[in-house]
Structure 1
Amino acid sequence: MSAATDETLRVILADDHPIFLIGLRVVLEQDPLVKVVAQASSPGELTKCLKDHACDVLVTDFMMPADQQNDGLRLLERVRRHYPQLPIVVVTMLNNAALFRDMLALGINGLLSKASLAGELPAAIQSIRNHQIYVADSVTQVMQDAGEYGAETLIPYEQLSPKESEVLRLLAAGRSVGEIAAYLNRSKQTVSAQKVNAMRKLGLANDSALFIYLQEHGLT
């Protein structure tokens, strides 16, 4: 990426929710010096976009559902390994200080909340132009609170939607996503999305963390 601040930034967007992809694009393209060159809605699509399109910044969700890949840290590790100089801005609904620390340790360049997208994303892009790290105030507050009290506050299990809770209960019983889809008469894509949405709300990064959570809460 050029150090000049008056050159157009080529951006790749990645998010599995179409409404957020639209929102990201609308916010970014208010800046005449930003051009969205590609969009992805899964890890596989993101990998292809990065191969096919030269870009200056990646703006990505932390977790996106896929058949065998919903580990956000692993996805970021892979992108960083293959594109070590590419600035990465992560937007997330998570509220987990430990995961925030892990993401920043991977060398991402921006970390912000989807809840404050309109105000934070332009600020993050400006920081990228200035070769600076951007951490949103809301993220900083979560990390400070965790340091003060020793633990992150996660959304209680009871606040998951009924369908998300149902999927987690069946996963805890040892059923696969495919088996759950057949049992509930839903598509595998729907069940996978409900699983990942639940993990987002609970602040869980991968299947191992989910299994531990289910064990600790007596759901297995």
Structure 2
Amino acid sequence: MSYLDDIDNMDAFAIRVILADDHPVMLSGISHEFAEVKTIQLVGTARNSTELIALLTSTQCDVLVSDYAMPAGEYGDGIALFSLIKRRYPAIKIVVLTMLDNPAVIRALVTQGVTCIVSKSDAGTHLIPAVHAVHSGGKYYSPTINQIVQSIDWNRRGRGSSDVLSQRESEVVRLFASGLTVNEIAEKLSRSKKTISTQKSKAMEKLGIEREVDLFRYAMENGLVTSSQKTSDSSSSTE
């Protein structure tokens, strides 16, 4: 077997990875890390959910490494986006990269079946074993995430429990927290006002939230909406 045959065989067995993050510096840094690893082949990058879904549809990959909070894009982000990907592309394994240290977020991810989570506050090198772990059906938490997982009371129900929001409920919460009224959300999503109100109420019930101000806080803390998105959407709704 020649040297070129060896190279071809290594490429054939490399884990094909798509990377999604809305920060160009993160994309560049992680891409550089992956380029140094012969068992990982980066086959594409995306900066939002619109680009990501298009890439997943057109490009074969084994593992998706995705930021949790990517507000821009027509498919949203966070739990709603990962739920969609799991349904639409069940063969693709997911590694979540996040700067959030909220136990509710981590609990929701774990109960969604995400077994490999890396904190952005930990070294980027943790992504490499995470990719290998998820590809082989294993589990990997970077140190910061592992501390959070150990601190969670898994017997307690409430925010972030196994009753995670459906994609539609998450979408309603995201739009409501961005500043839209129930009427405006109904018009935007082509649903009835009653349906939107019911989905909002159901989401609050699942999360153990009684006040709307706490629903806003939940959306911010869980990456469903950012402060800049709230300002932008609120402004557009009054134009």
What does residue 48 of structure 2 align with? Answer: 42
Moved more, 95-104 or 126-135: 126-135
What does residue 144 of structure 1 align with? Answer: 150
**Which of 91, 107, 114 is matched with 1:108 structurally?**
114
Structure 2 CA distance, aligned partners of 1:26 and 1:82? Answer: 29
Mapped contact 2:20–2:46 kept (Cα < 8 A)? yes
Q: Cα offset for 1:125?
A: 1.9
Mapped contact 1:11–1:38 kept (Cα < 8 A)? yes
Q: Which amino acid aligns with 1:110?
A: C
Matching of residue 204 in structure 1 with residue 222 in structure 2: yes
What does 1:61-100 correspond to in 2, within 5 Å? 61-66=67-72, 69-100=75-106
RMSD of aligned Cα (Å): 3.4
What does residue 9 of structure 1 align with? Answer: 15
Q: Cα offset for 1:144?
A: 2.6
Structure 1 CA distance, aligned partners of 2:77 and 2:146? Answer: 23
State TM-score, norm by structure 1.
Answer: 0.64
Mapped contact 2:20–2:65 kept (Cα < 8 A)? yes
Deviation string 1:27-63 (CA, Å, 9 cap, x unpaired) is: 1221112111111001000000001100011000001
Change in Cα spacing, 1:129 to 1:71, as seen in structure 2 (3 Å) is closer
Structure 1 CA distance, aligned partners of 2:116 and 2:54? Answer: 22
Determine helix, strand or coil for the equivalent of 1:116: coil
Q: Cα offset for 1:145?
A: 2.9
Mapped contact 1:87–1:109 kept (Cα < 8 A)? no
Moved more, 14-23 or 58-67: 58-67
Q: Cα offset for 1:118?
A: 2.5
Q: What is the count of residue pairs matched by the alignment?
A: 164
Structure 2 CA distance, aligned partners of 1:94 and 1:49? Answer: 25
Deviation string 1:137-183 (CA, Å, 9 cap, x unpaired) is: 211212333439x999xxxxxxxxxxxxxxxxxx6798x9xxxxxxx
State TM-score, norm by structure 2.
Answer: 0.59
Structure 2: gaps spanning 5 or more residues: 1-9, 160-177, 185-216, 231-239
Change in Cα spacing, 1:144 to 1:35, as seen in structure 2 (3 Å) is same
What does residue 156 of structure 1 align with? Answer: none
Moved more, 99-108 or 39-48: 99-108
Determine helix, strand or coil for the equivalent of 2:43: strand
Write out the 4+ residue segments of structure 1 that deviate beyond 6 Å after TM superposition: 171-174
Matching of residue 126 in structure 1 with residue 132 in structure 2: yes
Determine helix, strand or coil for the equivalent of 1:115: coil
Q: Which amino acid aligns with 2:146?
A: T
Q: Which amino acid aligns with 1:50?
A: L
Q: Which amino acid aligns with 2:140?
A: Y
What does 1:23-62 correspond to in 2, within 5 Å? 23-62=29-68
Structure 1 CA distance, aligned partners of 2:57 and 2:136? Answer: 26
Deviation string 1:78-135 (CA, Å, 9 cap, x unpaired) is: 0001011211000000001111111122222410111224231112122134321212
Structure 2 CA distance, aligned partners of 1:84 and 1:69? Answer: 17
Structure 1 CA distance, aligned partners of 2:15 and 2:77? Answer: 28
Structure 2 CA distance, aligned partners of 1:47 and 1:67? Answer: 10
Determine helix, strand or coil for the equivalent of 2:83: helix
Larger Rg: 2
